[in-house]
């Protein structure tokens, strides 16, 4: 380098030679400042795959059993297993820290529901997309609904800093110069939605999948309009990522999509939240405050006795009776868990209207249903099958599984069986089954409702117990 600098003092050196020397000097300095990517071989020797992800219901979270869960966690965990590596999930303090940490080389890639944008593509490499979403403008019921971007000047709009939403608004400002907004690097997307719900701000922008989940916790949230066409979510890699790692990740996601497994995973997390009933969601939250505290310890005790999650047991009870111990149906089922006389007798329950006895009987019967499901069927499908059997009877469930298999689908996947259960009410199908006619649409709605109630109960428990939210910079 000293020799190159000395060329500048040598009057005999021509201008062209000096320019070439300075160009070489710049290349040398640039290469010295650019960190070389970790090779795929080095990564495997390290034995650890480091992945950046925010802690949220849509990325990763700690479930009621203390296990890691969430769409991004499941995908990253599967990928790490395929590579024979241990997964380390690193959670930064803020959303923008995801990219700063990746730039600093603190992880191999980001798996946190990141939207592919033109600006980001100039700095990073993206995996093949694994989910489509739409960016939506959200407001609270009770204020005048904005019809388009021009209406936003009448309220306070806040979005996440360094997000695709900020980039979207910056592009819209070219068309609407009067458009104004605030950015926050302290809040999460869920916190911004809560701020809208509380009336602290008027609007925010979020992804459609996040909105669909959030409105079950905050029923008054409304979707005003979409900001543009659907967008794609993908993993984010540094621009100089090792080709081996990038190719392995791309192949992994492509194979998941081609096999149909990716859609099955997405359905597990999102299919049951697409339908929304405002009155039902509002009533549930009201009953959560007014009724559940009286019976929570009973759910916890019976769930512990039978090795179950109390949130699930409580969700079933809400679907059955809205947590009313004196509930009675026209068909004679009654109590918190709406047990039939025969079921109560089978479970040694003397008083179906006694909440503790009813909950205990329901838990024991669900455990019995779980025991009937073939061992090869794993959770969560195993649980959904048991709930369907609890509702419609195990025999009818088996009839639906047989139909599912005959129609060329997988009888061990709830996703496939739920599509065929309604056929049990059609003579063309039930006439060929062992157990005959059944209202097959009912267990589909039944399981879907319970899944939604369960999700909200878990989220409410997380909000009331900070330790369940995950820990900043925690590594697993």
Which one of the listed residues 72, 135, 190, 320 is annotated catalytic? 320
Separation of alpha carbons 400 and 417, rounded Å = 6
Vertex 358 angle, CA 354 and 362, to 5°: 175
The answer to whether residues 115 and 133 touch, using CB atoms and an 8 Å cutoff, is yes
> Nearest Cα to 115, choosing from 212, 216, 196, 227?
227
The answer to whether residues 224 and 136 touch, using CB atoms and an 8 Å cutoff, is yes
Whole-Å CA distances, 398 to 20, 232, 339, 376, 394:
78, 38, 21, 15, 6
Tokens of 374: 């073939």
DSSP letter at 334 equals: B
| β-bridge pairing 182-184 and 158-160 | parallel
> Nearest Cα to 273, choosing from 66, 57, 469, 417?
57
Number of C-beta neighbours around residue 367 at 10 A: 16
Secondary structure (DSSP) of 280-327: HHHHHHHHHHHTHHHHHHHHHHHHHHTT--HHHHHHHHHHHHSS-TT-
Separation of alpha carbons 359 and 372, rounded Å = 20
- The reply to whether 3 belongs to the active site is no
Spell out a b/e string for 120-146, using b for 16 or more CB atoms within 10 Å of the CB, else e: beeebbbbebbbebebbbbbbeeeeeb
Secondary structure (DSSP) of 129-189: P-EEE-EEEEEEBTBPPP-SGGGGGGS-BEEETTSHHHHHHHHHHTT-TT---EEESSS-H
> Nearest Cα to 453, choosing from 361, 290, 323?
323
Instruction: Catalogue the active-site residues.
Output: 320
């Amino acid at each position: 380098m000293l020799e190159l600098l000395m060329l500048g003092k040598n009057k005999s050196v021509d201008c062209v030679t000096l320019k070439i020397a300075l160009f070489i000097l710049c290349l040398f300095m640039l290469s010295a400042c650019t960190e070389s990517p970790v090779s795929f071989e080095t990564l495997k020797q390290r034995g650890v795959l480091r992945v950046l992800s925010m802690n949220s219901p849509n990325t990763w979270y700690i479930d009621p059993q203390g296990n890691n869960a969430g769409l991004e966690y499941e995908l990253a965990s599967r990928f790490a297993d395929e590579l024979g590596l241990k997964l380390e999930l690193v959670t930064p303090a803020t959303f923008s820290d995801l990219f700063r940490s990746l730039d600093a080389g603190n992880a191999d890639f980001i798996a946190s529901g990141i939207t592919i944008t033109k600006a980001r593509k100039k700095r990073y490499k993206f995996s093949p997309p694994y989910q489509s979403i739409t960016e939506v403008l959200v407001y609270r019921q009770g204020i005048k609904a904005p019809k388009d971007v021009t209406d936003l000047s009448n309220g306070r709009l806040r979005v996440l800093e360094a997000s695709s939403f900020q980039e979207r608004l910056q592009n819209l400002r070219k068309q609407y110069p009067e458009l104004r907004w605030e950015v926050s690097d302290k809040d999460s997307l869920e916190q911004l939605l809560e701020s809208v719900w509380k009336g602290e701000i008027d609007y925010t922008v979020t992804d459609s999948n996040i909105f669909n989940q959030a409105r079950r916790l905050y029923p008054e949230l409304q979707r005003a309009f979409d900001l543009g066409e659907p967008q794609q979510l993908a993993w984010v890699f540094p621009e100089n990522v090792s080709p081996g790692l990038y190719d392995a990740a791309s192949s992994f996601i492509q194979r998941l999509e081609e096999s149909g497994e990716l859609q099955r995973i997405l359905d597990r997390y999102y299919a049951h939240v697409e339908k929304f009933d405002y009155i039902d969601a509002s009533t549930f939250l009201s009953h959560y405050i007014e009724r559940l505290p009286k019976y929570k310890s009973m759910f916890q005790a019976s769930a512990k006795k039978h090795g179950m999650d109390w949130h699930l047991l409580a969700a079933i009870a809400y679907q059955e009776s809205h947590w009313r111990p004196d509930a009675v149906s026209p068909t004679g089922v009654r109590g918190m868990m709406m047990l039939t006389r025969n079921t109560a007798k089978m479970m040694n329950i003397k008083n179906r209207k006694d909440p503790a006895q009813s909950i205990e009987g329901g838990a024991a019967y669900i455990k019995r249903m779980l025991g009937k499901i073939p061992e090869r069927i794993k959770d969560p499908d195993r649980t959904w099958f048991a709930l369907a059997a609890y509702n419609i009877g195990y025999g009818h469930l088996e009839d639906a599984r047989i139909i599912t298999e005959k129609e060329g689908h997988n009888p061990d996947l709830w996703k496939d069986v739920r599509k065929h259960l309604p056929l049990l009410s059609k003579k063309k199908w039930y006439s060929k089954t062992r157990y005959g006619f059944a209202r097959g649409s009912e267990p589909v709605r039944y399981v879907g409702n319970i899944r939604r109630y369960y999700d909200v109960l878990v989220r409410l428990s997380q909000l009331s117990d900070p330790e369940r939210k995950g820990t900043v910079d925690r590594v697993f």
